[in-house]
Structure 1
Amino acid sequence: MATMRQIAAAAGVSAKTVSRVFNDDPHVLPATRERVESIMRELDYVPNSLATAFRSGRPSVIGVAVPDIVDPFFAEIARAVERTARDHDMSTLVTSLGDDPDRERAVLEPMLRRQLAGVVLAPIGDDQSSLAAWASRTPFVFVDRAPGRLTADAFTQDDFGGAFAATTHLVEHGHRRIAFVGDQLALPTTAERLRGYRAALTEAGLPADEGLIALGAATREGAAGALAAIASRATALFSSNAVCTMALLPALAEQPLPLVAFGDFPLAELLRPSVSVITQDPEALGRLAAERIIDRLDRPDARYRRSTVLPVHLVERDSCRAGAATPLSRAIAPGAPPPR
């Protein structure tokens, strides 16, 4: 692979001139530019990204840290960051944080020791104050969940409003004993969605029955236990995120209940009954977060609104209706393509 010095020698110019041609400096003479570019193509020159970052003073990698890269929601955030970074001649470094808040910093630090343009972070804990030293020199942008005890940019979605709308929708379908199923209240998203659920019940003049709230449903076993705890008393169910909803599906095949879920998920519209959902926009979260990091690199003194809440929307399908309490595991509609 040719080096910048070899390109310079072949073109009869300095290495600095080669650098100016590569960086599209307008002060290079057209004939010189054409000669250098021709030799670059002939020798298949590929610039050293670390050296380029050193010369420009601008790192070329955006870090992405999410709870689980296999989760379709967080995977789409990571893909959106990657697409945006690629459009700006940058790359991404992605890691999964897991589900233990006490290990969040330990998982992040190997990534943070690298020279990063910034970090897009969906936290798993409620206290990010330990990242303050890193954040003082590396832009952090939080997605899905706002930071705790740390000042940083955040793009989140209307968790309270979405849960309020989902619960109200079930009330409008005649349900009076609506259960809430979620993962853990340590997550700010779950806590806000529970608050929205309770507010909708209060608005409808219904009592908030704590016996209809079941947590720990992020796994198939946990979801089965959560459903067993509320199934005999509930007439409908609000699931607080897509992971819980997918974990619930096998248990709902045995104990069907009308359902609205926060967060769409693959094949939700092809289940029978199809699942009514509060839709999120993970692509927008990832794109806006990456754009904010790039903006902060380009304009370090610019002022931005720190917290941006994106809207969510109810998509009514069949599962919220009173007559829809049929086994959800009979999944694919006739004539639908097989899952990939």
Structure 2
Amino acid sequence: MGQTTNQGQGTTVSEATDYGGAGKIRTMEEFAAAAGLSRPTVSKYFNDPDSVRPATRERIENAIKRLGYQPNLLAVNFNRKAPKTIGMIVPSLVDPFYAALVEQVELSALDEGYWTIVLNSHGERSMEERAVRTLMSMRVAGSIVVPLGTTSEISTLKELAGAFPLVLADTRVDIDAPFVGTDNFQSISLIVDYLLRTGEAPCYFDMPRVNRNALERREAYVRAMERRNALPEIISAPAHSWAFEAVAFEQMTNLLSNGPLPTNTILCATDRTAFGVMAAASEHRLTVGREGQLRVAGHDDHPFSRFASPSLTTVAQDGHKMAMLALGMLIGRIGGETDESAHLLEAQLRMRNSA
């Protein structure tokens, strides 16, 4: 039986064991033996490829290709002194805003040497709590959480913040953690200004009160109107539902069936709300647009806003910057920084055909 000597590591291991077939190597110990290297050297490589000498790295990478070995990355991460995974929880992965936020965090985290475990709370308190418990059962370096908000279990989120570095994104809850989100008072003021300059005063089509954004945007609308000596008119929404389009469609249908609107200019709390409003208007054969029977505006710059009919006037949140700041703050906290600040991002006006 032949012997292979790894002179650089001072160990001698047998390579004659039957590891030739792909899928036969199940552990890192077996791979190390087949590659003719010590287990600590192989482990060091999988923790950080740049930590081993170039010749050793090349030898390991050739062995990976030759033997078809795929390490258990979760196990590798669990055994690290400094894990290289981060957790992320969002309310919905089918919402394009949150999907884009996740994508940007994932890609940027890879550039920083981290990979991301993404969990979806599906708009449900129990699912958010389950996602938090799942992260706490894993060995992650830290987490970025977009909380549900009004239905979040605050005590559970506080436990998470005590277990790992934590950054909140998009909406705040009452825990001690840094935050990055949109300045709702700036964004709503911006769109109210535009609508007042270009036509009649807007009424406000509220969103379900699922989080602090809902409360802040409603208050921001009232303040913005009062500062301009205009009368605030609010169309209230149900207390809790993440089905923004369906809720708005049903409400707008009832309003159009039962009486006049407060005004024919409607500022919606979210673009998803605006989609429901415009669909109901279309069902009632009302034209929406600058020269139409109704003007409709939204908030967020949802990826579909440009392609609505008509295209939706709105204010754009900077999702890219939100993701980059959240990740940067998290990596800073993983490295020992103690920044507890809140970063509020300004939105930009998107003037399109609906208003």
Same fold (TM over 0.5): yes
Consecutive unaligned residues in structure 1, runs of 5 or more: 321-340
Spell out, residue by residue over 1:237-257, the C-alpha distance to the aligned partner (whole angstroms, 9 max, x if none).
Answer: 101112212222211212442
- Does the CA-based 8 Å contact 2:136-2:163 persist in structure 1? no
- Does the CA-based 8 Å contact 1:80-1:283 persist in structure 2? yes
Partner of 1:215: 237
Partner of 1:120: 144
- Does the CA-based 8 Å contact 1:21-1:37 persist in structure 2? no
Consecutive unaligned residues in structure 2, runs of 5 or more: 1-22, 289-293
Partner of 2:199: 174
| Greater displacement, 133-142 / 7-16 | 7-16
Tell me the CA shift for residue 139 of structure 1: 2.0
Q: Which residue identity is paired with 1:264?
A: D
Q: Which residue identity is paired with 2:161?
A: A
Tell me the CA shift for residue 45 of structure 1: 3.3
CA distance in 1 between counterparts of 2:137 and 2:51 reads: 36
- Does the CA-based 8 Å contact 1:66-1:96 persist in structure 2? yes
CA distance in 2 between counterparts of 1:169 and 1:100 reads: 36
Larger radius of gyration between Structure 1 and Structure 2 = 2
Partner of 1:294: 331
More relative contact order, 1 or 2 (CA 8 Å, 6+ apart): 1
Partner of 2:352: 317
Partner of 1:234: 263
- Does the CA-based 8 Å contact 2:132-2:156 persist in structure 1? no
1:108 aligns with 2:145: no
Q: Which residue identity is paired with 2:194?
A: H
Spell out, residue by residue over 1:270-294, the C-alpha distance to the aligned partner (whole angstroms, 9 max, x if none).
Answer: 3443211101122332333233333
Aligned with 1:142 (options 164, 168, 171): 168
- Shift of the 202–46 alpha-carbon distance from structure 1 to 2, 3 Å rule, reads same
CA distance in 2 between counterparts of 1:185 and 1:12 reads: 61
Tell me the CA shift for residue 191 of structure 1: 1.2
Partner of 1:96: 120
- Does the CA-based 8 Å contact 1:202-1:208 persist in structure 2? yes
Tell me the CA shift for residue 116 of structure 1: 2.5
1:16 aligns with 2:40: yes
Spell out, residue by residue over 1:203-253, the C-alpha distance to the aligned partner (whole angstroms, 9 max, x if none).
Answer: 2111224xx332238242543324644853212010111221222221121
Q: Which residue identity is paired with 2:64?
A: M
Tell me the CA shift for residue 136 of structure 1: 1.0
CA distance in 1 between counterparts of 2:50 and 2:309 reads: 60
Tell me the CA shift for residue 68 of structure 1: 1.6
Scaled by the length of structure 2, the TM-score of the pair is: 0.78
CA distance in 1 between counterparts of 2:89 and 2:303 reads: 22
Partner of 1:330: none
Q: Which residue identity is paired with 2:158?
A: A
- Does the CA-based 8 Å contact 1:99-1:124 persist in structure 2? yes
Q: How does 1:228-307 map to 2 (within 5 A)?
A: 228-229=254-255, 231-253=260-282, 254=284, 255=286, 256=288, 257-297=294-334, 299-300=335-336, 302-307=337-342
Scaled by the length of structure 1, the TM-score of the pair is: 0.81
Aligned with 1:195 (options 194, 209, 219): 219
- Does the CA-based 8 Å contact 1:102-1:125 persist in structure 2? no
Identity level (%): 26
- Shift of the 13–114 alpha-carbon distance from structure 1 to 2, 3 Å rule, reads closer
Tell me the CA shift for residue 186 of structure 1: 4.8
SS in 2 for 1:220: helix
SS in 2 for 1:123: coil
| Greater displacement, 182-191 / 215-224 | 215-224
Q: Which residue identity is paired with 1:273?
A: P
Partner of 2:291: none
- Shift of the 8–157 alpha-carbon distance from structure 1 to 2, 3 Å rule, reads same
Q: CA RMSD in A?
A: 2.7
- Shift of the 40–266 alpha-carbon distance from structure 1 to 2, 3 Å rule, reads closer
